[in-house]
A and B are shown apart, each in its own frame.
Chain A
Amino acid sequence: MSTTKSLTATKKVVIHLRATGDAPMLKQAKFKIPVMDKFAKVIDFLRRQLHRDTLFVYVNSAFSPNPDELVMDLYNNFGFDGKLVVNYACSMAWG
C-alpha cells in the first residue's frame, strides 16, 4: 500500500486507545498527536477522558512506556501504518 515513511518532526501519529481488563471504552478512541510530544500527553489525555488518576498503560509488546519517551520513538519501535496502539486498564479496587 504505502512505502514506509520515516517520521519527521512535523508529522503526527494516530494513537489508537484500546480498553483492556475492566476499563471503560472511550467514545473517541483515536486521536492524532505530534511525534515530538511525550508519551505523558497520551497518559494525561486518558486520565482526563476517564476521570481517573491511576491507569495502567502499555503497548502491544508487553511493555509499559515511560511517560518521558517521545511518541516518535514509541512509534518507531511499536507502531505500524502510522498508528500506535496504546492499551489501558483501570486500577483494581482494594478488596
Chain B
Amino acid sequence: MEVLSWDGTLSSRDFQAAARVFAENWKQFNPALPPWTWVPCLKQPSRLSQEQGYLSLEKICLLGSNKEDEQEDVDEEEPEPVDNATLIESAGPQVCYYDFHIVYSDSYRVPVLYFRGYYIDGQPLAWDEIEKDLPACSSKVLLESKWTFITQEEHPHLNRPWYKLHPCGTSEWMKLLFLGDESLATNGVAVEQYLVSWLSVVGQVVGLRIPFDMLNHHKSCN
C-alpha cells in the first residue's frame, strides 16, 4: 500500500495478520505484562470464509492514583482472630482489574480499543472510578480530544457494555503517523507496523505503553 494514497484503514484480513505479529512481539518485548491473546469468534461463520476474532489483554492493574485510605482503622488494637470479612471491609485501596480488547470495526475498517474495569469480585467500575485510574494527562486532555474520545456501548462479541475509544478519528491520525515515516513512505505501508503505531496513540489514553525495543524490532523487520 502506498502511503500517499492510503486512507489509514486496513482490511479485516490484514488486521488479523497484524494482530498475530503484534501479539508475538509484545510477548517478546513486554515480558513484564501478560501477553495479548487472540480470541476467535464465530459471529458470522457463513458470510465470511475467515474466522473473526479480537485481541485480548485481561486482568491488568493500572497504576492510577490510589484512594487515600490511610488504613488508620487497621492497627494493633484489634487482638481478635483474623476474620476475612473484616479485613476486606477495612482494607485500603481496592484492587481493580482492567480488560482490554482490540476489536476490528467493519464499518470504520480500523481497530477499536474496548476496555472495562472491575473489582476483584467482578463488580464493574463506574466511569468516575475508571477515570481516576487513567493517566493524569489522559483524563484531562485526551478524553476531550476530537481524536480520541470514549463512549460506552455493547461489546460487539460479548453481550455486556464496555467502554471504547471511538474509531472515527483513527484513519486520519493513522495516515498522519505513517506519512511522517520516510521509510514507510518509500517502502509502503507495512501491515505489521499498524497495531504498534496504533497502540502508541490509543495506549496513552489508558496507560499502556509500547516499549521502544518493540517498535525498533518492528522497524528492523520491515
Q: Which residues of chain A have a CB within 8 Å of any CB of chain B?
A: 20-21, 40, 43, 53-54, 56, 58-68, 73, 77, 87, 89, 91-94
Contacts and interface: CB of A to CB of B under 8 A. Distances in A.
8 contacts: A20-B179, A54-B147, A56-B201, A58-B200, A61-B219, A77-B212, A91-B147, A91-B169
A60 B182 contact: yes
B204 A92 contact: no
B173 A63 contact: no
Interface string B123-161: 000000000000101000110111100000000000000
Contacts of A60: 180-182
Q: List 9 tightest A-B contacts by C-beta distance, closest first.
A: A91-B146, A54-B145, A62-B197, A62-B181, A64-B201, A62-B177, A64-B200, A77-B212, A63-B200
B212 A58 contact: no
Interface residues of B, number: 32
B68 to A, nearest CB: 22
A69 to B, nearest CB: 8
Contacts of B193: 62
A62 B210 contact: no
Contacts of B212: 73, 77
A40 B135 CA distance: 12
A19 B195 CA distance: 24
Contacts of B141: 53-54
B176 A92 contact: no
A93 B201 CA distance: 19
B146 A67 contact: no
Nearest to A94: B146
Contact of A61 (B144, B181, B204): B181
A93 B172 CA distance: 12
B173 A56 contact: yes
Nearest to B216: A77
Contacts of A20: 176, 179-180
